[in-house]
Amino acid sequence: MKSAAHLFQKLDDGAVCCGTCQRRCVIPQNRLGWCGTRGNEGGTLYSLIYGEVSSVSINPIEKKPVFHFYPGSRWLSLGSVGCNFRCPGCQNWELSHWTRGGMGTRYLSPEDSVAMAKATGCTGLSWTFNEPTIWYEYTVDSAKAAKQEGLYTNYVTNGSITQEALAAIAPFLDVFRVDVKGFFDATYKRIGHVEQAEQILRVVHQARTHGMHVEVVTNIIPGCNDSDVELQSIARWIRDTLGPQTPWHVTRFFPHLRLTHLQPTSIERLETARTIGTETGLWYVYLGNVPGHLWENTYCHTCGELLIQRDVFEIVRDRVKHGTCPACGERIPGTF
């Protein structure tokens, strides 16, 4: 379905400048933006994927992964097509790398998505599978409808939204689960075809200042973003900008698409990344995509007590009482 874009600027000769993602594409008439999902028709920018759902499922919030916002809760998870990064090793590349042709989607209105979430006992809506920023108009309308019905909302995002777009959706967005793919410009250019890492980091900080619950994921790709220097830089930035209480998920890369020549990230490298994070001062550093590993559990940052035991995406045991550690009484950051 086509819908007028919320954020764009009219330019000379009928061109428009999109204000949704950080690419800020200048789009001539009858042309599409870089993501392939926004088109200029007669000097007006339109989203071409409003309500076009490619994937819908009910998932535990741990699958996002988010570990400190209502652990064990179920979320209606929705995705569309397209992306503004097109990472070479994307695991959802069939959806995110779409740019032309049949979408293979079905229309689901914001109101219907909220009704589906409520009917299935979900805690909230999560926009995931592809980049929610390019689905912006639909997620804004859905988030507003969700709030009216007492549901929570979640972006699983690469963080490439513009500051003005984030500010507009912020009153209706509870959780900002963001990929920080690296710390250096060269890393972002290689992975996401974007020039400046700082733009991403600035928006993540903005999400925190808006009061959203923020958790950071770094998918560690061998030979790309796995150096000690890069990991130390990310950890220090999280500590100093978001706060040491911010969960950092260092996740195992598995080969997909154009990175099938690489090996999966070694467990030893992930454990080293966790050590880097904790020695930097982060309280909660988790390993991801390593089922059954000790460090997918939550331990009190003060006394080390086991608080939440996990098996893949399921909660085996939850000992957090009224948001505090049962052993030492320390308040555990997050919403429990």
Q: Block means of pLDDT (10 residues each) for the chain, length 336 residues?
A: 97 96 98 96 97 97 98 98 95 90 92 98 97 98 98 98 98 98 97 94 98 98 97 98 98 97 98 98 98 96 98 95 96 97
* pLDDT score of 268: 98
Residue showing tokens 């741990």: 62
Instruction: Give domain status of residue 40, yes or no.
Output: yes
244 and 270 in a common domain: yes
Instruction: Give domain status of residue 327, yes or no.
Output: no
**Tell me: the pLDDT tens digits for 57-91?**
999 999 999 999 999 999 999 999 999 999 999 99
266 and 139 in a common domain: yes
Instruction: Give domain status of residue 334, yes or no.
Output: no
Residue type, position 280, single letter: T
38 and 75 in a common domain: no
How far, CA to CA in Å, does 163 sit from each of 26, 69, 117, 209? Answer: 18, 24, 29, 12
Residue type, position 133, single letter: T
How far, CA to CA in Å, does 120 sit from each of 75, 135, 250, 316? Answer: 9, 23, 31, 22
Where b means 16+ CB within 10 Å and e means fewer, 295-307 reads bbbbbbbeeeeeb
- CA 93/CA 129 separation, integer angstroms: 9
Task: Give the full edge-to-edge strand order of the sheet including 124-127.
Answer: 55-60, 74-79, 124-127, 152-157, 175-179, 213-220, 248-252, 285-288
In this structure, are residues 93 and 47 in contact, taking their beta carbons and an 8 Å threshold?
A: no
Residue showing tokens 């293979």: 104
Count of Cβ atoms closer than 10 Å to residue 236 Cβ: 16
How far, CA to CA in Å, does 289 sit from each of 24, 38, 194, 222, 302? Answer: 34, 33, 26, 15, 26
180 and 291 in a common domain: yes
- CA 217/CA 181 separation, integer angstroms: 8
210 and 195 in a common domain: yes
13 and 65 in a common domain: no
143 and 42 in a common domain: no
28 and 84 in a common domain: no
* pLDDT score of 266: 98
Instruction: Give domain status of residue 304, yes or no.
Output: yes
* pLDDT score of 101: 79
Instruction: Give domain status of residue 323, yes or no.
Output: no
Instruction: Give domain status of residue 324, yes or no.
Output: no
Instruction: Give domain status of residue 335, yes or no.
Output: no
Report CA torsion sign: 249, 131, 221, 228: negative
82 and 21 in a common domain: no
In this structure, are residues 169 and 207 in contact, taking their beta carbons and an 8 Å threshold?
A: no
Domain boundary among 47, 63, 79: 47
| Residues of the domain holding 27 | 3-47
Residue showing tokens 């007006």: 44
169 and 31 in a common domain: no
* pLDDT score of 336: 94
Extract the tokens encoding 179. Answer: 């990929």
Q: How many domains does one find in the chain?
A: 2
List the CATH number of the domain containing 245: 3.20.20.70
91 and 27 in a common domain: no
**Tell me: the pLDDT tens digits for 197-216?**
999 999 999 999 999 999 99
105 and 59 in a common domain: yes
* pLDDT score of 277: 98
Instruction: Give domain status of residue 26, yes or no.
Output: yes
